[in-house]
Amino acid sequence: MHAPHLSPFDAAAILIVLAAALGYINIRLLRLPSSIGLTLMGAVASLLMIGIDRLFPGSGMSRMVSDFLSNIDFHTVLMDGMLSFLLFAGALHVDWTEMRKGRWPILVLSTIGVLMSTAITGAGFALLTALLGVPLPLIWCLVFGALISPTDPVAVMAVLKRAAVPPTLQATVAGESLFNDGVGVVVFAILLSIALGTETFTIGHAASDFLREAGGGVLLGLAIGWIAYRAMASIDDYSVEVMISLAVVMGGYSLAHFLHTSGPVAMAVAGLLIGNHGVSHAMSDLTRDYLLKFWSVIDEILNAVLFLLIGLEVIAIAADPRLLLVGALAIPLVIAVRAISVGGPLIAMKPWLSLGPLALPTLIWGGLRGGISIALALSLPDSPARTIILGATYIVVLFAVIVQGGTIGALLTRIKSGGREPNAA
């Protein structure tokens, strides 16, 4: 049995109905944080359908879900659609004053930290796959390192809403997560082109690509954010000002794609500018209230759909025991590399800046991987490498969202109770 052809509207309607229904069940019965509850229920529903298919081979339930998911281009939906809205909405609520205090950790961790993580994870994954009898070429292992290194701003910000950490540390974690995914996407694109043989690697060429994407994204974000700020400051009409913010996100992201600059970086910068300077100086109280609530609702809806999609994608992962073992062993590898790539720079910067005793556990255990990593893995061309990388990515993301996301609050509370309340740097 095959699912009928679905229009984009049909697919969106099904996802919204599922997200609303499972969200209701979560609030009424499970009472888990939304991201964890929807991911968990999506994964359990997928496993139940696989189980029903095993018991009743003629049911075709998992095939129907697979056909439905295959109709959704997860990479396009997230990277060219949802991500622009999610990053802008997230950046809108980051306090620039506090973020400036942590600007050096943000800059270092979102650039040097991502590059360190990509290299170390790639080398470790190459060794891991070789030991388990499913060896991958080093360049493909580096591709995995690039897609799994960025923390997901959506998942991380959901954690920060629940965990009571000092304001400067909150802004630092949010800022690092906002920018490291833009850097990670750029590094991923460069490495993938090398792996596919479409680009000859030279350090100069890679550096110029990186500067064009990341630097161009910053400049574009500043430009469109400033234009929107000036437009908002010259009028007082909440409906038009909300439309201007929508124009920034949709038009700005499309323009970034056309200019071959980083759309995620541009959206993060524009969101920071409008969320701080614009909200403070360009809006009346009524407009500010409407704009922030509008983007809060957009954020919640897209979060619900995103984490539901992550849960449902379990049905697309091949049930090969070796691949499951690769994914399970990739979890400690990714966490250990996160500790190295975050801990090393923070220790080096300690004489000049300290974010307090909660910084390392928040950045390491709270550095969740999410939909961005899944989307990048799903964008890989069909090959044995894709199967291994997709399986490992999915298991790492599932662990991050459910286990790390579900325990970070309790971990930080326990650390704080062991001594005096840390002072924000």
pLDDT tens-digit series, residues 54-64? 777 776 776 77
pLDDT tens-digit series, residues 255-285? 998 998 888 889 989 999 998 888 888 899 9
- Up-side HSE of residue 23: CA atoms within 13 Å toward CB? 17
Residue 38 reports pLDDT greater than 80: yes
Single-letter amino acid, residue 75: H
Give percent of the chain with pLDDT exceeding 70: 91
Confidence of residue 118 (pLDDT cuts 50, 70, 90): very high
Q: For residues 362 and 360, give the distance between their C-alpha atoms in angstroms, rounded to a whole number.
A: 5
Contact 228, 243 (CB under 8 A): no
pLDDT of the residue at 247: 96
| Mean residue pLDDT across the chain | 84
Helix or strand holding residue 16 (H, E):
helix 8-25
Confidence of residue 320 (pLDDT cuts 50, 70, 90): low
Q: For residues 318 and 121, give the distance between their C-alpha atoms in angstroms, rounded to a whole number.
A: 23
Cβ of 139: how many Cβ atoms within 10 Å?
Answer: 17
Single-letter amino acid, residue 347: I
Summarize the confidence of residues 99-121 as an average pLDDT. Answer: 90
Question: ∠ CA 189-102-409 to the nearest 5 degrees?
Answer: 85
What does 88-155 look like in DSSP terms, one character per residue? HHHHHTS-HHHHHHTHHHHHHHHHHHHHHHHHHHHHHHHHHHHHTT----HHHHHHHHHHHSSPPHHH
Q: For residues 81 and 267, give the distance between their C-alpha atoms in angstroms, rounded to a whole number.
A: 12
User: Lowest-pLDDT range, 205-214, 310-319, 398-407?
Assistant: 310-319
Of 268, 298, 296, 214, which is closest to residue 91 (Cα–Cα)?
A: 268
Residue 13 reports pLDDT greater than 60: yes
pLDDT of the residue at 367: 87
pLDDT of the residue at 286: 92
Q: Helix 238-259 and helix 285-312: axis angle, to 10°?
A: 50
Summarize the confidence of residues 392-410 as an average pLDDT. Answer: 89
pLDDT tens-digit series, residues 348-382? 888 777 777 888 888 999 888 887 888 888 888 88
Question: ∠ CA 28-31-35 to the nearest 5 degrees?
Answer: 115
Phi and psi, residue 175, nearest 5°: -65, -45
pLDDT tens-digit series, residues 194-244? 898 876 667 777 778 888 888 899 999 999 999 999 999 999 999 999 999
- Higher local confidence (pLDDT), 414 or 423: 414
pLDDT of the residue at 97: 82
Give percent of the chain with pLDDT exceeding 90: 31
- How does DSSP classify residue 236? -
SS3 49: helix
